[in-house]
Structure 1
Amino acid sequence: MKINHKQLTFAREYRGYSQTELSSKIVGLSQPNLSKFEKGLNTLSDELLIKVMSFLDFPFEFLSKNISNESETAHFRKRTTITKKDRIDIEQSYKLIGYMVDEMADSLMWPDFTFKTLDLEEGYTPQYVAKHTRKFLGLKPNEPVRDICNLLEVNGIVIVELDAIEKFDGVSLVTDNGYPLIVINKNFSNDRKRFTIAHELGHLLMHSVNNPAIPDYREKKLENEANDFASEFLMPAEAIKASLYNLKLSYLAGLKKYWLTSMASIVRRAKDLGCITKDTYRYLYIEFSRKGLTKNEGVNVFIDSPELFRKGYAMHKNELAYSDFQLASGFSIPVDMIKRYCDNNRNQPKLRVLV
């Protein structure tokens, strides 16, 4: 079996051990030798590796895998204060979910990716891409995006909710085997989830799928481009603009209930579309803060549940008769990963078993 030294680093960090801590737990393993192995500079005996992987409660076969899903193809919405430990946990989580999506594809056929991607270098704007995407989905100009998860999943984007820290919003990527994936924080409000999903959809359509060439001068603009896409996708300028002139705080609850977006994003939309002055924008945010609306807007909105990943797991369990232990063994990962990422995820995109 060919050993991939990066997988040991992955397993060690997943269990929360430093090199020094892990080497102190394994007889015959020194920190310098472990460090050299993880850098690919030397080898460790199979006997020692078996001890290490057994201690970490990972299958030995995990060392033969190549879980990449590199972060260059992922787009975070996170606070700058995120700790290294939390960042590693988030990155490993989306990589593992992407890996499981790829592994499930050996037995299941995920829906085809049918969205049209557009390269901004060819003169398109995020707003144009959003309008084109709404038209492709059959949404009327004045229609809110109600079943957002279903609309994306039936068109080939897997969405997974992750039980994550508050500083993480979401991430998008194309898995190692080419499946578009969005991972969002399940603990946020529905309107925040909606904007995150739309934001990550923008990344996939403009920045990730088909590997468009992105010049250096645009690297710092990617987040703004995704935000512009999300705003137009969820709140089309043509439909919402008339209702944003002379905007008052009392209007926001009704607008939120219709467009299914946060009051804060509606206020920003009004400013961006030139419907309110900077002074009015500032005043509304002061009022937001004074009334405690920055933490809880007091109005919840609907969002449908992502289903593809959950159904993929359920079909392995029910139709293919895998136990969690067998599934973990087949994927060469610990069973607790199956429990963490698959067992808590629950509109009806269709999957079928490959024969």
Structure 2
Amino acid sequence: MKDIVSQKIRQGRILNALSLQELADAIGVSKQMISKYEKGISIPSSKLLIQLAKALKVRVDYFFEPSRVELGEVNFRKRSSFPAKKINALKENIKLQLSNYLEVENILKINNSFINPLNKKKIDKLEDVEIIVRHLRNEWEIGFDPIHNIIQLLEDNEIKVIEIDEPQNDFDGLAAIVNDKYPVIVVNKNFSVERKRFTLLHELGHLLLDLPERDIKFEEQVCNRFASEFLFPKSLVLKEFGNGRKAISFKELIEVQRKYGISIRAIVYRLKECNILSDNKVAEFYRKINFNQSLKQNIDAQRFNTPEFSNRFEQLVYRAYSQELISTSKTASLLNIKVNEVLESKTM
């Protein structure tokens, strides 16, 4: 038990991006004492555990739950300003949320095995993406209508989605396979809904595709094309805008944004990819944005009304609770809420 407590104190500290000194100051002990707790040399008293729980924003029973997921090396897109402390916090966040998710699925005996529907299809050129996206939509039986909730779609297909709060927008997203069997996509929850949807699908491309060993630029181009094609397939681009156009009205762009949940910037670039607008026209569009702040704000406004969210984990927890497979305390622990809130939810 001492080993579990020491491990969870360290994980909780990293999860909150706190140094030893910062955590020590928060609970009124020395930095050396926090180090002893994390090494298992000493164990905090019940009173200090309560203070630690408050400082780390967890329930006390968090310290007695062993971690079920060991996360290996993760490579993801980040801005240069994203510090190592936040990277480590992100990894702990993934471990915690995925561990809870898998625990509930196992309690409910839900098959959480994942099979790549693309079987790591190889990409040699950007033009291959259209065929691959068509294949994936068929495999997932979603046809070619607009998709209203990308997160729900991913989780329905055994891909876990984790949203993190990074208000400075220093983090975009990442995709990883944990323990060689559990696919996870992480996205910044503070993005506009259109940017979040695009990022989720960009990371899905990294997750599912067999990309050739070229430079990172080509890999990013492929994943951007994958996201664009998935959100707004070429056949629908042609249906909405027709063939070669000399001009596009702003009203057309807004209506397509509202219908497909794709940003106006991405729509315009999509028109270039589908040879509906010339390179010069698209370059002119971006020049106008750069020199007109009011136009830029209008272009970047969020207009897709269906929010991107998933309450699947919460539903599974309450399902296990209502079937008396987990206790009230365990339910509260998994959802990180108060026991009273759990009791109030039970209506029948």
**Local SS of the residue matching 2:262:** coil
Q: Which residue of 1 aligns with 2:345?
A: none
Relative to structure 1, is the Cα distance of residues 203 and 47 closer, same or farther in structure 2, using a 3 angstrom cutoff? same
Whether 1:279 aligns to 2:280 is yes
Q: Partners in 1 of 2:217 and 2:2 — Cα distance?
A: 39
**Paired position in structure 2 for 1:302:** 306
| Alignment correspondent of 1:182 | 185
SS of corresponding position for 2:304: coil
Q: Which amino acid aligns with 1:245?
A: G
Partner of 1:159, secondary structure, is strand
CA distance in 2, matches of 1:160, 1:314: 19
Structure 2 residue matching 1:173: 3-state secondary structure? strand
Unaligned runs of 5+ in 2: 54-59, 342-348
Corresponding residue for residue 41 of structure 2: 45
**In 2, Cα distance between equivalents of 1:324 and 1:87:** 33
Q: Which SS does the other structure have where 2:167 is aligned? A: coil
Q: State the one-letter code of the partner of 2:280.
A: D
| 1:56 alignment partner in structure 2 | 52
Matching residue of 2:176: 173
Q: Which has the higher contact order (CA 8 A, sep 6+)?
A: 1
CA distance in 1, matches of 2:89, 2:42: 27
SS in 1 for 2:191: coil
RMSD: 4.0
AA matched with 1:253: I
Identify unmatched segments of 5+ residues in structure 1: 208-213, 332-336, 344-355
Q: Distance in 1 between matches of 2:288 and 2:76?
A: 32
TM-score, with structure 1 as normaliser: 0.71
- 1:348 is aligned to none
The verdict on how the C-alpha distance between 1:16 and 1:271 changes in structure 2, with shifts beyond 3 A counting, is same
Amino acid paired to 1:82: F
CA deviation string 1:42-76 (max 9, x = no partner): x542446989756522558558536433352x644
C-alpha distance in structure 1 between counterparts of 2:7 and 2:217, whole Å: 29
Of 335, 338, 341 in structure 1, the residue corresponding to residue 336 of structure 2 is 338
Mapped to 2, the partners of 1:272 and 1:191 lie a distance apart of 19
CA apart distance, 1:270: 2.1
Kindly, what percent of the aligned residue pairs are identical? 24
Classify the secondary structure of the residue corresponding to 1:285.
helix
Q: Alpha carbons of 1:325 and 1:164: their partners in 2 closer, same or farther (altered >3 Å)?
A: farther
SS of residue paired to 2:106 = coil
The residue correspondences of 1:47-196 to structure 2 (distance < 5 A) are 47=43, 55-57=51-53, 59=61, 61-62=63-64, 64-65=66-67, 67-72=69-74, 75-76=76-77, 78-108=78-108, 109=110, 113=114, 115-121=116-122, 125-141=128-144, 143-167=145-169, 168-176=171-179, 178-196=181-199
2:259 corresponding residue in structure 1:
258
Closer, same or farther in 2 for the Cα pair 1:285/1:110, shift >3 Å? farther
Deviation at residue 99 of structure 1 after TM alignment = 1.6
Structure 2 counterpart of 1:292, from 296, 305, 315: 296
Amino acid at match of 1:106: N
Give the C-alpha shift of residue 96 in structure 1: 1.7
- TM-score with structure 2 setting the length: 0.72
In structure 1, distance between residues paired with 2:319 and 2:149: 23
Structure 2 CA distance for aligned equivalents of residues 285 and 308 of structure 1:
39
